[in-house]
Structures are given as structure tokens and as C-alpha cells.
Amino acid sequence: MAGTSRWVDAPPGRARHIVVVGASAGGVEALRAFVGALSPGLPAAVVVVLHIPPDAPSALAPILDRSGPLRAVTARHGDVLVPGTIFTAPADNHVLVADGHLHLSRGPRENGHRPALDPLFRSAAADFGEAAIGIVLSGNRDDGTAGASALADRDAPVLVQDLEEALYDGMPSSVLHHVRTARALPAVKLGAAVGELLAEVPAGTPAGDALPAAETVIADGTTEVVGPTPRLAGAEPSGLSCPDCDGVLFRLPGAPAPRFRCRVGHAWSPASLSAQQDEDIDRVLWSALRALAEKAELHRRLGESAAVAGRRETATEYRRRADRAEADAGLLRRLLADDQARHGSGGPSPIG
């Protein structure tokens, strides 16, 4: 998809190429290895998203600043993308690229995360075209797959961390499965690969189909259109509910895999939606177990009071209700124990 980009004549000092990197669980060590292998004169800006809790101040920028030759800073709204600088996403903000600048947004979460990989990758594809490079490192589930596909659609290179090396291979594995042109390398070799690719790729043409651009507007969170998702071309009601707001999820068309957005913009991949449903079911079952235990306790006490008062039939009925609640609670305990055995327990609880 060769062509003339507005970045060919970019103002002096502004990056004509961009490297967008995403990671989740197990990603910090991979990021350190990657940035440690970057060349000091890298002719591109690097923007990094790491899944972190919304209330956790990110120490990623100083970690990466000490890990390699490039300066690393926490991204600020309006920052100009300059070559040789690493920008890291702050907590609870999507980082988007537009007109050679960074935009921070508290738009709808995607795959349960803010910041998320997909919004950054899509915006880089729209703004830089084939002059972008996308990299997905260790992490669970599949955030980054849709964004990597948007990059590949514009002939931008996509790289992932080697699956055997990644502590959690869900995210890089999903990209490899859905993005035909993606390549896997050990984290320490990704830095050299970026240098080689930047020597080959021209400043690309920021263009493409309307869906990724429209989704970038949604992620920006500043659209004045209420409920923009139903207006996306080809979006159809799925019959499923959004875990974040309980609204209807609309299925979005196109590759690499089915994706969903609710009316207000929360986005879900199949794997992320399924995992969140598992968490919701687990929470509901534990709440039901607590309610049954309290019901049994209440009716035991009422039965004891009725027995003391000489109301035998009433006491018997209360004991019967308590026994039934305890039996139901036992069924739930066995169900929860079986679920823990299937999914494992006692291990690390990664973000991802």
C-alpha cells in the first residue's frame, strides 16, 4: 500500500515512523529485554501500553528508561511524537495517536482494560499506515489481535514475542493465529528486528476502511453521538449483554475474529468476553452460597426460638427449611470446587 504520507513532509523533529508495543501479564521483563536491544538513534517514536489496574501509579517509564539507550517518559495528552523516545501509557487512560501527537482518553474500556492495546494499534494504523510497526508481548487472552489486524491491513509489520519465551502466551498466540503476516521472535531480538524494518519501510499512507477509524473515535471518548456503536456499518445485535454496563452487545463485522461493542462503546473480543463471563458467574455463585448459608442460619435460629416457645410444628418447618438451604449450599460448594479443580487455583493472579 505504497503512497505519499503526510509524514514525508513532517515538521523537523517529529517522528515519521512509530512502534506501538503492548503487553500484559509477564510483560515487564519482556519490555525490558526489548528496549534494551533498541538502537540509540532509533528513527521512530515508541508507544507502550501495559495492562495495569486503574488506581496503580505506573512505574514503567523509569524502569524502561534504565533498561536501554532510549529516553522513556509517561505519556501526556498532546505530546508530540518524536523519534528516539519511549512513551508509556498512564493508568486508566487509553493512548491514541492522531496527527503526530498523543491523545489520552478515558473512553470506554476494551477487553476490560484501559489502557488497552487495540485502541492504540488502530489509531497508529490510521495515522501512520505502513510506517507503523506493531509488537505484542506476553499476556493473557487476546487484547491486541484486532489492532494488529488493522495494522496488517495497512501493510504495517506485526511482530510478537516467541511463544515458548512468553510467560503468558495468550496475546501473542492469538495474533499469530489471526494475523497471517505476523512473525514471532524472542524479546531481545525484537529490538534488532525493529531497526531492520525501519530501514526498509517508507513513510506510509494513513488510510483504510471506515471501521477502525470509527472505533478510534469511540475510544477517544469525545464523540457527541450518543450510542455510536449501532451506527457502525454492519453492526448487529448479538443477544449478549455487556459485562461493564449490562447493555446490548453488537457484533462487529470483519476479520480477524468476531468482536462486540455495546451501545456506549465498551469493546470485547470473544476470549475476553468469555473470561469476564466466567468471573461474573463465579461472583454470582459465591454470593448465592453466602445467601444460602445466611438463610440456613436464620431458619436454625427461628426454629430454636419456636421450639423454646413450644411451637413444635413451626420449629419443625424452620428446621426443614434450614436443612434444604444447607443442602443447596452443599451443591454450590461442590460446583465451585469442581470449577476450581478445572481451572486450577493457588497460582499467580496475573493481570491480563
β 18-23/45-50 pair status: parallel
Q: Within 10 A of 115 (CB to CB), how many other CB atoms are there?
A: 29
Question: Nearest to residue 219, comparing CAs of 123, 91, 100, 81?
Answer: 123
Question: Could you tell me the three cell numbers for 225?
Answer: 453521538
Question: Could you tell me the three cell numbers for 49?
Answer: 501500553
- CA dist 265 and 247 (Å) reads 10
Peptide bond between residue 115 and the one before it cis (omega within 30 degrees of 0): yes
**Where in the sequence numbering do the catalytic residues fall?**
24, 51, 143
Which residue type does 257 have? A
Which residue type does 40 have? P
SS3 281: helix
- CA dist 296 and 319 (Å) reads 9
Question: Could you tell me the three cell numbers for 151?
Answer: 495494522
213, with CB counted inside 10 A (0-12, 13-18, 19+), is middle
Helix H or strand E segment including 211: helix 210-220
SS3 247: coil
Q: Are the beta carbons of 33 and 166 closer than 8 angstroms?
A: no
Q: Within 10 A of 316 (CB to CB), how many other CB atoms are there?
A: 13
